[in-house]
Amino acid sequence: MIWLCFTLVLSFTSVISDQNIDSSHIRGKDQSVAGVFQVSDLNYLNQPQYSYNASDARSLCLSLGVNIASKAQLQEALTRGLETCRYGWIDEHLAVVPRVKALPNCGQNKTGLVTWRVDVTKKRRSRAVSTDIKQAEEYIQTVEWTSEEKTEKTEEAAQEDERMEDERIEVEENAS
């Protein structure tokens, strides 16, 4: 079986480095479908958030020892029941959301592999693939364990993070 990484995208602090990953900010989906699993960055409330652009998503999956999922691999997982309500990056630099059932507030009320053409620098989730099932299972267990131990930020720190993120976005928008 092949494991795929499916990654979300949008945080101020990068969790990726060439040497390691701060797994206290990352959560691996506790199950996979056809080898596809989702990797999410967690906010101060321990909830998934968009955190990676296309390049970061690929780097994250590779640093986990897995590859980012291709459209064909994600399509296979979709036929086996994979469904999410958030867009994520795939190998072809497309943001997609796999939908089995149509919902007005999810995937544009469409079913199938819903594609969203977006600038590859925008942040979304990511999906990855691994040929080593044991490695992927160990990663998922480790990330979930460290996420549970993570201490929450104070409300003041969270507000400061939001202020800094707003300033960063404003600078980026003014630069374009």
Number of structural domains, the chain? 1
Tell me what pLDDT residue 7 has: 55
How far apart, in Å, are the Cα atoms of 71 and each of 88, 114, 128, 149?
11, 11, 11, 34
Amino acid 111: pLDDT: 96
What is the domain-level CATH number for residue 26?
A: 3.10.100.10
Task: State both tokens at 157.
Answer: 């720190």
pLDDT attached to residue 161: 60
What pLDDT, on the 0 to 100 scale, is given for residue 53? Answer: 81
What residue numbers bound the domain in which 10 lies? 4-175
**Residue 58 dihedral angles phi and psi, to the nearest 5°:** -60, -45
Classify the C-alpha dihedral 164-168-169-171 as positive or negative. positive
Written as tens digits, the pLDDT of the chain (176 aa) is 445 566 543 222 233 333 344 555 555 545 677 888 777 777 778 777 777 788 888 888 888 778 888 999 889 989 999 888 888 888 898 888 899 999 998 888 999 999 877 776 766 555 555 444 454 544 444 443 333 333 334 455 555 666 666 677 677 667 76
Compute the 3-state secondary structure of the chain and give helix, strand, coil in percent, each to the nearest 5: 35, 25, 40
**For the chain, how far is it from start to end, CA to CA, in angstroms?**
44
Alpha helix stretches (DSSP H) within the chain: 54-63, 71-79, 133-149, 155-175
User: CA 158: distance to chain centroid?
Assistant: 21
- The confidence score (pLDDT) of residue 159 equals 58
Enter the DSSP assignment of 129.
Answer: E
